[in-house]
Amino acid sequence: MLSVKVLFVKYLMKEMSASLAGLKVGMEYLQKDNEGITSNGLIPIKLSYCLVVKQVAFSASLLASGDGHIGPFNTQTPLVFRHVVSNIGNAYNPNTGFFIAPVRGAYHFEFHLHGLGHASYPTGAVLVKNGDPIFTAYEHQASYSVSPSNGATLLLETGDVVFLLQRQNTRIYDSQSHFTTFSGHLLFTV
């Protein structure tokens, strides 16, 4: 599992760089809000800021266009879901495949995989939280299609990272029908 942790750290560093840029933009907005301090010294709270933090949901499929297989790879590989249908709260990054929890709370995630039957290559992926495997979806048959899926409700702290890791020596198929998907949403804050 060490290679998974190293891979996780590399991707996390990329994600942190992107997040830093977003934080700088957010800081500029906050500085502008601070300029609006009222005469009694209170900063006006904008209701829209509060609502955005509590509204978190995303849904994405694997391929942005066309059809084809991802894999097989000789090591576990992060899956990046590029066709984003919704990304409320922008917690999912379609460049890295990482979901980063913006607030502490209970989140629900689901993933559905699709594979075209093959004698040598099963279809499988692992839901990962902060580099640790949570649940796996895996199926293997020589012909026809397979559609393993799984889901989990997780308590996440602000900044926790959740993503899918394609299992070693597996193939995952997607097309314009968007068979292979990854979704998640905030159930409630804690």
- Percent of the chain whose predicted confidence (pLDDT) is above 70: 72
Please state whether the predicted TM-score (pTM) of the whole model is above 0.75.
no
Q: Mind listing the pLDDT tens digit for each residue in 112-169?
A: 999 998 888 999 999 999 999 999 999 998 888 999 999 999 999 999 999 999 999 9
Residue 76 has pLDDT above 50, yes or no: yes
CA atoms within 13 A on the CB side of 27: 6
Residue 53 has pLDDT above 50, yes or no: yes
CATH number 2.60.120.40 given to 2-189? yes
The set of residues, in sequence order, having a beta carbon less than 8 Å from that of 123 and lying 6+ positions away, is: 113, 114, 115, 138, 139, 140, 146, 148, 170, 171, 172, 173
Comparing CA positions, the residue from 69, 64, 67, 107 lying closest to residue 85 is 64
